[in-house]
Amino acid sequence: MAEVPHIFGTVTAEAKRARQPKGRPITPEELARLIDAAQSRHMLLFLLIASNTLARPACTAARI
């Protein structure tokens, strides 16, 4: 291969650091309340996976 193809939609590390956050991070106390409020094993599993994958929906859905 003489050259690699350009990948559109990539974001540089500088651009990632410069953008505004999408929201505030959840506090440990809030996460604990969510886990305590889980009323089914499925919801508990979802919350544990979501919190450990930084709530990336694709990663969460792929593991359930």
Q: Is residue 10 part of a domain?
A: no
- Per-residue pLDDT band for 60 (boundaries 50, 70, 90) equals low
Q: Is residue 7 part of a domain?
A: no
Q: Is residue 44 part of a domain?
A: yes
Q: Is residue 42 part of a domain?
A: yes
Q: Is residue 41 part of a domain?
A: yes
Q: Is residue 58 part of a domain?
A: yes
Q: Is residue 37 part of a domain?
A: yes
Whether this prediction's pTM lies above 0.85 is answered by no
Task: Specify the higher pLDDT residue, 61 or 20.
Answer: 20
**63, pLDDT greater than 80:** no
pLDDT winner (highest mean) among 1-10, 22-31, 36-45: 36-45
Q: Which residues have a Cβ under 8 Å from the Cβ of 49 and sit 6 or more positions away?
A: 59, 60, 63, 64
Domain of residue 35, residue span: 26-63
Supply angle C-alpha 47, 63, 45, rounded to 5. 30
Number of domains in the chain: 1
pLDDT digits (tens, 9 = 90+) for 35-57: 999 999 999 998 888 888 776 66
